[in-house]
Chain A
Amino acid sequence: MELFTNQVLAGIATGAIYACMALAVVMIYQAIDHLNFAQGEMAMFSTFISWQLMQWGVPYWAAFVITLALSFVGGIAIERILFKPLAKAPVLTNVAGFIALFAIINSSAGLIWDFTIKQYPTPFGSAPFLGSQLISTHQAGMIGVTLLLLVGLYFFFQYTRIGLAMRAAASLPESARLVGINTSWMIALGWGMAAAIGSIAGMLIAPVVFLEPNMMGGVLIYGFAAAVLGGLSSPFGAVVGGFLVGIFENLAGTYIPGVGNELKLPIALALIISVLVVKPAGLFGRHIVKRV
């Protein structure tokens, strides 16, 4: 039983990483209705920017805020320059665009900062949290930040004018335009926010997985899986999905013989698919009913 509790705790700790990423995924999905394959790379690039700032002597929190702002602007710029011209193109062409963006960012980061693994500082310290060996203060801090973000997003979308406008633009663009919402800019704003949330995720994850251009590969897959499991229309679902994926993964690695590290990912994905077969819209997703 103790082993079980410990593994669940460890799962929650890794789950926090996935939850963070899943939140960014859902954010952009709400705005543009696509899964952005380049999301992880955008987050990685932001993290590198903050690392560079710190190398130049900027203190952590100042670098954090500057990076957040830069990522927000960068996200908007990417949408305006690269994806707005593709707005009328088929969906699959847009997906190809994400893959292209992925390649560009990954390779540029590799050229600017090279592929060596770098240490990344944590603002929370890495002592054991409340005497538990399995969760460090950093991981606890990460869970805290994720939950804070979630609450913040909830209020933003529920109670602010601009949040409401974004939701309107995503769910009924025609009607939103008729009541005077600039839907095109709402999409850009969605990209900006997704990039900013992604950068937070990146900066929180970097101390755990270390900083390098490929650091987001695995994390993004789990983030997608978590977002899909939770239901792509629900930020709350994304966070729950993130923790569940973390726990699944750890328990599968511990209790199923012969699994080891290699097979953890396929098993986690297989479990998620089994859930989706039963609940096709995800655990907390709104089932979209279509009028024929």
Chain B
Amino acid sequence: MSAAEEVVAEGHQAVEAVPKRAMTLGTGTSLAVLAVLLVAPVFVKNFIIFQMTMLLIYGLAVLALNILTGGSGQFSLGQSAFYAVGAYTTAVLMEHFNVNYALTLPIAGVVCFAFGFLFGQPALRLSGVYLALATFALATAMPQLLKLNFLEHWTGGVQGLVVTKPDAPFGLPISQDMWLYYFTLVVTIAIYIFSVNLLRSRSGRAFMAIRDNEIAASAMGVDVALYKTLAFGVSAAITGIAGSLGAIAVQFVAPDSYTITLAISLFLGMVVGGVGWLPGSIVGAAFIIFVPNIAEGISKGLSGAVFGVLLFLVIYLVPHGARQIAIASKSGS
């Protein structure tokens, strides 16, 4: 049996084992990155602040996929569906029920957790390409479901919903964009710390044991079904929160913003950042936000081709993503 065939049979060796210690940045580097993220908005224009907010939001969504694929070894092309559920939960709560935007985030997280956990049940039977197809089906179905007639009263149908952008609280003298950026930053940091600790915990070790060898994991007493669905739930919850933040930042939700294209971008972000390396999520997010713009800048007509060529360049140079650079620089110093 070829190595690749085993991948399909098992669906897990597709993701290489990442040493636990290599999963995070050092304290010094983390603080430096944090300082840059904290200070940068003061010096740039509102539009760039908006882009940085989106960077954090996509970073969260890529992080969620990283926990699912890099952590538990399950593959998903359906992340856009969870993102959409989160975004719509926030939009509906804010516009129909006047719920405070900050309160909608945990609600979206819980709704998406339940959704992901339930979706994880049938997905348990599938692995590898079959799981990819199942999640893919979810992603293609989601925009159509959101357009359904009897939901139109709540979702606004094809038109979507407009979301009001919150003002900075306590009369802080900063713009809406900047407030939203810092709000997103706080949420992102909290979720990042949660994720790092999750992967270091008993549950995280269970995820990784399942990823590396499902049979061995179950022989050692890991409840494979529980932890696999749990990974789906956690990943969906984080993606959902990212979706909520996205809805607030973009001020608009519509079914066609959450197509399979979004899921594919998130997947590319994960590969570019390095599968299973959580800090890489932000690098991956930067790639999927900025590289298409750069490609468009190089050639309007051929932007897709330029993007493809750039993507090829990246995966030739660093097949293991940004993680490879980090590890190389660590062992070099």
Complex CA distance for A91 and B125, rounded to whole angstroms: 21
* Stretch from A14-22, A95-103, A135-143 at the B interface: A95-103
Flag whether A92 is at the interface (Cβ < 8 A): yes
The DSSP consensus for interface residues of chain B is: helix
- CB < 8 Å neighbour of A107 from B9, B134, B303: B303
Complex CA distance for A228 and B311, rounded to whole angstroms: 28
- What 0/1 readout, one digit per residue, does chain A (201-237) give for beta carbons within 8 Å of chain B? 0000000000000000000010011001000100000
Interchain Cβ contacts under 8 Å between A and B, 30 examples: A33-B2, A35-B129, A86-B319, A89-B320, A90-B14, A91-B14, A92-B69, A93-B315, A97-B312, A97-B315, A99-B268, A100-B307, A100-B309, A104-B305, A106-B304, A107-B307, A107-B308, A108-B302, A108-B305, A110-B301, A110-B304, A263-B141, A265-B140, A266-B140, A266-B141, A266-B144, A276-B125, A276-B133, A280-B125, A288-B5
Q: Which of B123-147 contact A (CB under 8 A)?
A: 125-127, 129-130, 132-134, 136-137, 140-141, 144-145, 147
A280 touches B130 (CB 8 A): yes
10 tightest Cβ-Cβ pairs between the two chains A and B:
A107-B304, A266-B141, A269-B137, A33-B4, A104-B308, A89-B319, A103-B308, A100-B311, A288-B9, A100-B308
Q: How many residues of B contact A (CB 8 A)?
A: 55
A270 touches B8 (CB 8 A): no
Q: Which residues of A contact B (CB under 8 A)?
A: 32-35, 82, 85-86, 88-93, 95-97, 99-104, 106-108, 110-111, 170-173, 221, 224-225, 228, 232, 258, 262-263, 265-266, 269-270, 272-273, 276-277, 280, 288, 290, 292
Q: Which residues of B contact A (CB under 8 A)?
A: 1-2, 4-10, 14-16, 69, 75, 122, 125-127, 129-130, 132-134, 136-137, 140-141, 144-145, 147, 149, 215, 264, 267-268, 270-272, 275, 301-309, 311-312, 315-316, 319-321
Chain B residue with Cβ nearest A218: B140
Complex CA distance for A221 and B260, rounded to whole angstroms: 12
A273 touches B137 (CB 8 A): yes
Query: Total A-B pairs in contact (CB under 8 Å)?
Result: 155
Nearest chain A CB to B210's CB is how many angstroms away? 15
Complex CA distance for A52 and B134, rounded to whole angstroms: 38
Given A100-B308, A276-B126, are A290 and B315 neighbors across the interface (CB < 8 Å)?
Answer: no
Complex CA distance for A172 and B125, rounded to whole angstroms: 26
11 A-B pairs besides A33-B7, A89-B320 with CB distance below 8 A are: A92-B271, A93-B321, A107-B301, A107-B304, A225-B133, A262-B147, A269-B141, A273-B137, A277-B122, A280-B125, A280-B130
A104 touches B309 (CB 8 A): yes
Chain A residue with Cβ nearest B306: A107
